[in-house]
Chain A
Amino acid sequence: MRSERSQLMRACPLMILPKGLASAGDPIDFVLPGHRVFLGRDRTLKLDCGVELSEFPVAYQAYGRLNEDKSNAVLVCHALTGDQFMAESHPLTQKEGWWDLMVGPGKPLDTTQYYVLCVNVLGGCMGSAGPSEINSETGEPWGLSFPVITIADMVRAQAMLLDHLGIEKLFAVIGGSMGGMQVLEWAALFPERVFAAVPIASAAHHTAQNIAFHEVGRQAIIADPDWCGGEYWRYGKRPHRGLAVARMAAHITYLSEPKLHEKFGRRLQNREGLTYGFDADFQVESYLRHQGISFVERFDANSYLYITRAMDYFDMAARYSGGLAKAFVDTPIRFCVISFTSDWLYPTVESRRIVHALNAVAANVSFAEIVSNSGHDAFLLDEPEFHRVLKGFLGGAAQHRGLPKTPTE
């Protein structure tokens, strides 16, 4: 592994924004912060679809310091539309990182104690191999010729990055939503490389309803004439409208009815009364439009197709005859499964299914259902009980792993 590592040691501190995201006709590439390495030279990445990827980029960001024996690494797996910039101002939107509340000194993922990594998933659009990246063989973006990837493929790519970084075993792998799916795959594929695993607001398979919502999003993109059969970059276009509609529909599933009611009710947007037209009369409409518009600034439409597909294909139990529990037989990992009461996208019953499977193999598992009315998005928000539980679980796990306690504890 050492020779492989030295060969692969080509981490660049900066990277170029993938072509697909550069605004139409803009010749100037935007430079993203963070790290980017090319993997798969010595050993290709064999994808579930049969294609083998060689020399593919993986972009990641890291916070905190790796300790001497490399035992304090925490991998955070991001969700569908997340990226590696979880605890800093986002390079494209300048908004705070999606897990700023969770990652940093004194926070549950305390960067004075842990080395916290986040990797842009395979199929993503923030530096890792995906449809908007350049295919080195053709010299132009992959587009729809990029192979269809799976959650397991994402995890295998992350494992290759860890090989590259010389990290044998993660202290913890943590993720919400699609990140939780990656956590489960980590536990199933590389049980010896994970000490603790925390799937949050997640599921071990995509339900018909999950697939249905994703299909609405994909069809919105495909129906946009600017999608151009998936080759929009050729024509200097981007399917903004389709992608925004996809985001709007998806965003509803991340909230809850009580939360929407609390946030917006039937309140009107900057007007005294109804306009009897199709303007955004209601605040909730205006909010969703804003969500859609701001999303397209930072996300690639084809990536959205690929990643939602990977999630739809996710069904861990199907891979093992005899059910989900078979994926975790003799697992040495300490699990902490967390769900939220108002999450109807990945409801508690799905987390409980995971817990039941883990109990069936007598795994070491904690499970907490957090009371919240914020819906699926609760894992991104200021939920003190959730943060307390996660911090406590990690503290207990760190003690068993023999990691030093933080000074604040």
Chain B
Amino acid sequence: MKPGVEAIWEWLDAVPDPEIPVISVVDLGIVRGVVWHGETLEVAVTPTYSGCPATGIISMDIETALRDRGITDLRITTQISPPWTTDWLSEKGRAKLMDYGIAPPRAAGGPECCPRCKSTNVAQISRFGSTPCKAQWRCTDCLEPFDYFKCI
């Protein structure tokens, strides 16, 4: 009757991030827990940045996706501790970001290479970008600007 937790994780892995739709909310590492409490399903979600306006939309998208699968007794909780880190981005998610043109985060603090021409000659334009989670960089070989997913 009740779908298993593994199946639910798979369904959530099909819910796209509203700002960067090529990766899922699971790839992003913001789904922190999926637990059945009796007949109630609890999904714990952590915000990326505390003011990220996508957070509310993400909870709504998760709720919609699970209701479509027939789960009606659903509680979405916000969990802020431990704080979200880009270490939680999945390997699959990192590869998808690169294909999409967003350089994935690196502990070294900057992109490994230009997501378009793969040159390692890159320079920062600004520490902030089009969303709280990104910074603006440019390739000094192909000269294209690109987004870098900030490492936090």
Q: Do A and B come from one complex?
A: no
